[in-house]
Structure 1
Amino acid sequence: MPASPPSISSSDDKGAMSHHDVAPPLLEKNAESGSFADSEKATTGAGALGDAAIPDNVLAEYSEEQVAQMGRAFARKYELPNEDDIFARAAVLARSPEHYDHMSLLTEEERLACYDEQYHPLRNMPPKLIAIICAAAMGAAVQGMDETVINGAQLFYPKVMSLGEETQRNDWLKGLINGAPYLCCAGVSCFMTDFLNNWLGRKRVIFWTCVISAVTCLLQAFAPTGTRGWHYLFAMRFLLGLGIGPKSATVSIYLAECSTKKLRGIICMNWQAFTAFGIMWGYVFSLIFYRVGSGAVHGGLNWRLMLASAMIPAVLVLFQIPYCPESPRWLMGKGRYREAYESTVQIRPHRLLACRDLFYQHVLLLEEESLDKPYIKRLGELFTVRRNRNAMLAAFICAFMQQFCAINIIAYYSSAIFLQSGFSEISSLCSSLGFGLINFFFAIPAFFMIDRFGRRFLLLSTFPAMALFLFVTGFAFWIPDQQTRVGIVSMGIYVFSAIYSFGCGVVPFVVAGEVFPLYVRAIGASFFTIVLWGFNFILSVTWPRMLNALHPQGAFGFYAGWNIVGWFLVYFLLPETKQLTLEELDEVFDVPLRKRISYQFLELWPNFQEYVLRRKNVIRQPPLGRHHRLAVKNAEWNDKAEVEQVENI
């Protein structure tokens, strides 16, 4: 049960003030005495650990006085507004955020803000944070709409581009056209993500990639007919990948860096939830334009309008993103602390919480390697430093399994699949719309589950069910009665989509945005998208040929098997990341893989007892990770000295 709102007039809080009062300086020690370096040269034995400090907090080994001095010095060094000694109070709160109710130095208003953040994190969400979420959501919808407008358009454009005949060559060419954006993402655009993020920042990358998406979606509608048509359409869709690749990596980072740890899962999953929203609207526009006549347009107008309609959410982003604040973490990485402060204030419900987060992020970021390292060195450390390598493996598993769980072959080819099972063209589009509706609306429960149950739990609980219903869908094609076959195929696809939506649908982009340390975050996210879009391209190209070679039974069975493999990959190799700050995840991902695999193997029987046999009081091993990082042990608070960490896994 949540705690009651803090009682300000309690006799235990003798120093408590009303919200009309101004909080006095926390300590009598003069904030101006000593330099910034002097105030930061405290060693771990210099102060007693306060009773309220949290052992896992990197500031817990310092006294309140030391932490308050750090906060004052931080504000002084970076010329941040420190009215009413707010950075000293914020630093003490950062040291022990769960014990705000016992801090008489906070005003009533500040303590209530802490209470709401702890127990009602969705209450009083700042308008600028909502604006960021909305802009990111529309950016995701661009990708989703493209996936499904091409689904509807491929019922028409092959006939006017000499691809209508069912031949092996035409199967490959249709797959190549469908997968062209993702070929560009994997081969070209995702490699630009780190450079673009360092140069432009998060929100400018999103803006310019949406410009590219809007223009290329529009240009697809002007494809000529005949054999030249597929060359033009392939080229335009390839250029569309210049918009999709960097945006897909950057939006996840942007959302993760602007959210709090309590809301990070809910906020970051907006990417996939609104990709599903775009998928749904892609089917809607396909149906709207299905019966549009050719008019004076040679080759038909309906499929051209379908392809062009994907520009709508991109245009909406162009009007939204200029009014959003930049990522505070990116600004801190550039040394622009005053701007980072102003940005953080806009995305937190109270200025004290903004000061707390800014200070704590700064302390933790000091432990990371320098953000000014050359790209090649940071790229190398993505694979040679164990903490980064394990994060890369976790992101790879999520990216790989999101593709090989088979969702996108249904998104791209659902109309063709329904046609093959016995539907008419219009019925197949209507059935595909049902798939899109389910994909979006069943993502909604994940908003309430992802931070409560965790990312790992959602994946482990959905992979077996997805495998089962892929088998059901594939084997249904052996049923001779058409009405029965159509019903079971539809049921299998719909249930599979519903299960996917709150599991493998929402988790990967959340994980990609949160697992990497700041200095390699853009590079790591770009590699995540390279893997994601690379396998997306492979699936979209190979599916038409696989369907003809293995028939639906073998093709769906193949991907059902991969869902089973995915369960084991997640169980042994993917740690839980919920309710931790982006920086505290360093400890989680620094555990050697062999140790993690051994630990999870020994946990198989306890997990079976607890989750299958429903037994209570199951004896378990101690947790693997404890957050005992020593972020501020450096006497000068300079960046941590470089240490070679090329460990064997």
Structure 2
Amino acid sequence: MAVAQDETVLAIQEEEKTSKAMTKASLLESVEAGLEITDDMKNSVFQIIDELKEEYEKDASKKVSAAGVFRNPKRFMWFLAIFASIGGFLYGIDISLISGALLFMKVDLNLDTSQQSLVSSGMSLGGVAGALISMPVNELVGRKYSIIVACILCTVGAILEAAAHDYGTMVAGRLILGAGVGLEAMTIPTYISECSQKRRRGGIVSLYQVLITFGILAGYVVNAIFVKVPGNWRFMMGSSLLFSTILLVSALFFPESPRWLMRKGRRVDAYATWLAVRGFDVEEEKIEFAIMEEVVIAEREASKDRFLYLDFIRIPHCRRAAIHGILMMVFQQFSGNNSMTYFLGTMYERAGLSAENSVYISMLGGGTMFWSTIPAIYLMDRFGRRPLLLILVPGVVAGLIITGFSFYAPTTTSLIVVYTIGVVSYYAFWGSALGPTPWVMNSEIYPTYIRSYGMSLGTLSNFLGNWITTYAFLQMLDAMTKPGTYIGFYGGITVIGWFYFLFFTPETKNLTLEEIKAVFSKTWIEIAKHNMEDFRYHWNKFWHKRRAQGMDEQAQTVSP
């Protein structure tokens, strides 16, 4: 009798398990097909979440550190976003510090032009190494501890830079610092994206870019503060120690990414993190968690015993996502931003300003970049990724044209004025378009099981492009002339980029990370066709609205 009862209980449990699996599979199929989620599916999901809650409450060790301070998940999410984005600040300040420090360092260390180029671009070259190690480090220790490793590398690199007494030590410091920056540049946008709500993801990831530009501005300010201090460039280069330490301490209180935890089979841990950063108060969060679990587990099983980088070749939606992610970074870097930023002080010195005045005026460009990036936090999720690129990138091209033509100015004063106008115009449009959008899209377009791999490819493309344009910049000015470099090279590539954004950049606004897969499941022709239909729709809407306004104004003019 007891045996029969046990068999009955086991049969019921097995039936419930099968029913739940079918429910989650049906839920995922409905989402991918764009169908409405039924009440039966929702009720089954709610039951699964309740069971997870009971399991979570039995184990007090699952509590997420710092979550108790922020009982509201929204506040906790902003805590994570702000402190994680300090990594962006660290990236930015290390970009611009060299602009002022190089003016004095080259004298103390007797650097020739080639050595100056390698010192300036050394951080980018180290970033290439950081991008290469970012995938295995992320897969091995997770997002949280990857950030901690990056902070340690940044700290060691900054110490070597500040203490350098020869060219070799300085290059070593720049390479180690760059490796840390490359690792955190891949990890932090991925981490924030995997923790964020779909309707806030673009803005929160854009915060990372805002902090990069704020760091660039801060670097110019730090340079100005120490410019008259003996050994000024050592204080400039060593100042980033403060911020790598702040990020290191903050990261100790970060939870791990729920999607990474789910991929590692730590289901209750994933629930605990989701509860802290997202909450389960609304059914949307419960459903997204269930979909996330099903997608991650399915992808984990499908990826076993495979060399996952090959998925970027053999699986169509992964291949299209990789191509798009790499091209976004290429167009960002070959728009000339880092060439301007790294050598802003040098260009002003070449235009005729003293080293000190070159440091001071560089703050104007850094300030413009920072303020122009802030709107992206709001605009990215309101208007979308693609519209920002189409509207603002022509302004980037205009800034490059003005900057290039400034070198035809007849006097030093007019050259500096026109050059400054060009730089300010460039940064004003670049800040909310080519600055944050490539990072946002790279953080969201890859399936969970290869997101680390995809982001490592994007970050590698970013730092490789950064290094190429920075290392070759001084030589490009001589070979192509200054107008040819700014207008012909950077301007021409940016124009090509605009047409790519018009035809082949899909919109990912307000989609979950799991829903974006369907976007890249379309062929390039289907994406281009959809984009042109969308462009025509909005253009006709804009044109008819302008005509209606014109007719109203005309009627008001002729009326008595």
The 1-side partners of 2:258 and 2:238 are apart by 35
> Alpha-carbon deviation of 1:560?
1.2
Aligned counterpart for 2:116 among listed residues 159, 165, 174: 174
The 1-side partners of 2:72 and 2:402 are apart by 46
Are the counterparts in 2 of residues 171 and 545 from structure 1 also a CA contact under 8 Å?
no
> Alpha-carbon deviation of 1:468?
1.3
Partner of residue 562, structure 1 = 493
Aligned CA distance change for structure 1 residues 394 and 38 (closer, same or farther; 3 Å)? same
Partner of residue 129, structure 1 = 77
1:64 aligned onto 2:12: no
Which residue identity is paired with 2:114?
Answer: W
Which residue identity is paired with 1:584?
Answer: E
The 2-side partners of 1:36 and 1:76 are apart by 12
1:548 aligned onto 2:548: no
Aligned counterpart for 2:160 among listed residues 219, 223, 234: 219
Q: Which 10-residue stretch deviates more, 428-437 or 70-79?
A: 70-79
Aligned CA distance change for structure 1 residues 588 and 445 (closer, same or farther; 3 Å)? same
Partner of residue 388, structure 2 = 458
Partner of residue 255, structure 1 = 192
The Cα offsets for residues 314-343 of structure 1, whole Å up to 9 and x where unpaired, read as 110111111121111111111111111111
Aligned CA distance change for structure 1 residues 418 and 610 (closer, same or farther; 3 Å)? farther
- Normalising by structure 1, we get a TM-score of 0.75
Are the counterparts in 2 of residues 516 and 524 from structure 1 also a CA contact under 8 Å?
yes
1:422 aligned onto 2:422: no
* 1:234-383 equivalences in 2 (<5 Å): 234-293=171-230, 301-348=231-278, 351-352=281-282, 354-368=285-299, 370=301, 373-374=304-305, 377-383=307-313
The Cα offsets for residues 47-70 of structure 1, whole Å up to 9 and x where unpaired, read as xx9xxx997576956642344234
Partner of residue 641, structure 1 = none
The Cα offsets for residues 117-165 of structure 1, whole Å up to 9 and x where unpaired, read as xxxxxx96633212211221211111111111111111011112222xx
Aligned CA distance change for structure 1 residues 329 and 56 (closer, same or farther; 3 Å)? closer
The 2-side partners of 1:370 and 1:280 are apart by 46
The 2-side partners of 1:179 and 1:421 are apart by 22
SS at match of 1:162: coil
Which residue identity is paired with 2:183?
Answer: P
Are the counterparts in 1 of residues 395 and 425 from structure 2 also a CA contact under 8 Å?
no
The Cα offsets for residues 363-406 of structure 1, whole Å up to 9 and x where unpaired, read as 343553537524x5211002221111111122112100111111
> Alpha-carbon deviation of 1:39?
3.9
Are the counterparts in 2 of residues 458 and 503 from structure 1 also a CA contact under 8 Å?
yes
Partner of residue 21, structure 1 = none
Aligned CA distance change for structure 1 residues 481 and 44 (closer, same or farther; 3 Å)? closer
SS at match of 1:178: helix
Are the counterparts in 1 of residues 131 and 183 from structure 2 also a CA contact under 8 Å?
yes
SS at match of 1:450: helix
Task: Note the residue ranges of structure 1 that are not aligned, 5 or more in a row.
Answer: 1-30, 84-122, 164-169, 294-300, 618-649
Partner of residue 127, structure 2 = 185
Are the counterparts in 1 of residues 92 and 214 from structure 2 also a CA contact under 8 Å?
yes
Are the counterparts in 1 of residues 386 and 507 from structure 2 also a CA contact under 8 Å?
yes
> Alpha-carbon deviation of 1:605?
5.2
* 1:519-530 equivalences in 2 (<5 Å): 519-530=449-460
> Alpha-carbon deviation of 1:289?
0.7
RMSD (CA atoms): 2.8
Which residue identity is paired with 2:520?
Answer: F
Partner of residue 484, structure 1 = 414
Are the counterparts in 2 of residues 136 and 270 from structure 1 also a CA contact under 8 Å?
no
* 1:200-215 equivalences in 2 (<5 Å): 200-215=141-156
> Alpha-carbon deviation of 1:594?
2.7
Which residue identity is paired with 1:469?
Answer: G
1:512 aligned onto 2:493: no
Aligned CA distance change for structure 1 residues 555 and 67 (closer, same or farther; 3 Å)? same
The Cα offsets for residues 273-302 of structure 1, whole Å up to 9 and x where unpaired, read as 101111011111111110002xxxxxxx11
The 2-side partners of 1:268 and 1:56 are apart by 24
Aligned CA distance change for structure 1 residues 124 and 73 (closer, same or farther; 3 Å)? closer
Which residue identity is paired with 1:40?
Answer: A
Aligned counterpart for 1:447 among listed residues 369, 377, 391: 377
Q: Which 10-residue stretch deviates more, 600-609 or 405-414?
A: 600-609
Are the counterparts in 2 of residues 442 and 501 from structure 1 also a CA contact under 8 Å?
yes
Aligned CA distance change for structure 1 residues 417 and 44 (closer, same or farther; 3 Å)? closer
Aligned CA distance change for structure 1 residues 463 and 373 (closer, same or farther; 3 Å)? same
The 2-side partners of 1:369 and 1:339 are apart by 17
Aligned CA distance change for structure 1 residues 356 and 55 (closer, same or farther; 3 Å)? closer
Partner of residue 162, structure 1 = 110
Are the counterparts in 2 of residues 421 and 489 from structure 1 also a CA contact under 8 Å?
no
The Cα offsets for residues 42-91 of structure 1, whole Å up to 9 and x where unpaired, read as 6999xxx9xxx9975769566423442344246548964599xxxxxxxx
Which residue identity is paired with 1:578?
Answer: K
Q: Which 10-residue stretch deviates more, 431-440 or 597-606?
A: 597-606
Identity, % of aligned pairs?
Answer: 27
> Alpha-carbon deviation of 1:447?
1.3
SS at match of 1:159: helix
- Matched length: 523
> Alpha-carbon deviation of 1:214?
1.3
> Alpha-carbon deviation of 1:35?
2.5
> Alpha-carbon deviation of 1:171?
2.5
> Alpha-carbon deviation of 1:357?
3.5
Q: Which 10-residue stretch deviates more, 530-539 or 355-364?
A: 355-364
1:498 aligned onto 2:435: no
- Normalising by structure 2, we get a TM-score of 0.87
Which residue identity is paired with 1:136?
Answer: A
Give the helix-richer structure, 1 or 2.
2
Are the counterparts in 2 of residues 149 and 283 from structure 1 also a CA contact under 8 Å?
yes
Are the counterparts in 2 of residues 546 and 555 from structure 1 also a CA contact under 8 Å?
yes
Aligned counterpart for 1:395 among listed residues 325, 329, 350: 325
The Cα offsets for residues 159-194 of structure 1, whole Å up to 9 and x where unpaired, read as 12222xxxxxx32321111111222322x3222222
SS at match of 2:343: helix
Are the counterparts in 1 of residues 130 and 179 from structure 2 also a CA contact under 8 Å?
yes
SS at match of 1:176: helix
Partner of residue 644, structure 1 = none
Aligned counterpart for 1:575 among listed residues 496, 506, 511: 506
Aligned counterpart for 1:38 among listed residues 5, 9, 19: 19
Aligned CA distance change for structure 1 residues 71 and 173 (closer, same or farther; 3 Å)? same
1:194 aligned onto 2:135: yes
The Cα offsets for residues 542-587 of structure 1, whole Å up to 9 and x where unpaired, read as 0011112333211111211111111011112210100000000011
